[in-house]
Chain A
Amino acid sequence: MSKLKYYIPVISFFALALVLWRGLYLDPKELPSMLIDKPMPPFALTTVAGSEVANEDLPDQIFLLNVWGSYCLPCLIEHPTLMRLSEEGDIPVVGVNYRDRQDLAVDWLEDNGNPFAFSILDEDGRFGIDLGVYGAPETYLVDENGVIRFRHVSVLDESVWEEEFVPAIAELRGESFGNE
């Protein structure tokens, strides 16, 4: 029993070392979202195409909400993935055109292709603040009840899609299947 005492410093050293070691691999740029399991904030804006849009226009199935801008270079990197998802049509992609200009956004979609069912125009970033956005690109996973379930900050490429979104979506679909 008294021998055990001598191991306390060693054990606490390794415990602390483990915690700090893990900390080395955390990405300080990836902040947890405050909106997980919260409903989409209310909005009444226009789309990039110019029509009015509000919460009830959102898809009534699981969808992606992708925050983008014509100035955003990483958005070009994830663009092929969004295009593929949109072509496959399994999950709708809604855009939030964040802190951009409408004419530039229209041009960007014409030049690069439009993966979005529609893009909510958030020129002054006010809707972005309600979402807790701090920079494009960000992608939210929203369920069929309009509740935000997952957020990914920065580029959504194929490996992020496979590793983070596919399991998250499978879990959500399993849940709603179980409820039926």
Chain B
Amino acid sequence: MNSKNRRLRSASILQALTPIFVLLLTMANAPGAIAQVDTFEFESPQQQQRFRKLSNEFRCPMCQNTNLTGSTGGVAEDLRREIHRMITEGMSDTEIEQFMFERYGDFIFYRPRLRAETILLWFGPPVFLLIGGFVALGISRRARRAGEENTELDDKQQARLKDLLGSKL
């Protein structure tokens, strides 16, 4: 009876977890498996590696929120072809990034470059966190100082307190 119960319980836990496993598996496969149907030939595995890295890091300008690898959009197909061409022509990653930037701007990067226009994007959150931290620190310091101060009532105050509370008691 007891062991049957336990078996039942573990079965239902498994059942509950199955969708999560499936989701994790799909996510693990996602970047390569979704969309890319074109095939490219490279001279070396390193070149192929670079191609994969670059097309994972560039954002598709048409189907937003997808990288070039995962997008079936026409422009993504063209950009993958261009990346392949530039790699086989011996251009460096920085040159390829510059090529993309000149045409599609910061939007093309999932990690935007550090420039005057993107400085708020990069440092805004930590700066706000710091400000918040200082404010919190100030408040807690003031509270502690207030706690350390003498809070005892003198005789006059004590008498007034008794007077105020007296009517309620």
Contact = CB atoms under 8 A, between A and B. Distances in A.
Contacts of B73: 134-135
Contacts of B75: 125, 128-129, 133-135
A123 to B, nearest CB: 11
Contacts of B78: 99, 124-126, 128-129
Interface in B76-93: 77-79, 81-82
Which of B77, B78, B79: most chain A CB closer than 10 A?
B78
A34 B102 contact: yes
A135 B74 CA distance: 8
Contacts of B104: 31, 34, 132, 134
Contacts of A135: 62, 73-75
Interface string A14-54: 00000000000000110111110000000000000000000
For this complex, into which size category does the number of interface residues on chain A fall? 10 to 19
A130 interface: yes
Looking at chain A's contact residues, is the secondary structure mostly helix, strand, loop, or mixed?
loop
B133 interface: no
Contacts, number: 46
B79 A29 contact: no
A144 to B, nearest CB: 24
Contacts of A133: 75
Given A129-B82, A134-B61, A135-B62, A34 B101 contact: yes
Contacts of B62: 134-135
B103 interface: yes
Contact of A34 (B79, B82, B103): B103
A125 B75 CA distance: 7
Contacts of A29: 64
Contacts of B105: 31-34, 132
Contacts of B101: 34
Interface string A108-149: 000000000000000011101111111100000000000000
Nearest to B79: A129
Nearest to B103: A132
Interface string B20-45: 00000000000000000000000000
A73 to B, nearest CB: 14
Contact of A31 (B61, B81, B82, B102): B61
23 contacts: A28-B64, A34-B103, A34-B104, A34-B105, A99-B78, A124-B78, A125-B77, A126-B82, A128-B75, A129-B75, A129-B78, A129-B82, A131-B103, A132-B103, A132-B104, A132-B105, A133-B75, A134-B73, A134-B75, A134-B104, A135-B62, A135-B74, A135-B75
Given A31-B61, A32-B105, A34-B103, 4 more contacts: A28-B64, A124-B78, A126-B78, A129-B78
Interface of B: 61-62, 64, 73-75, 77-79, 81-82, 101-105, 107
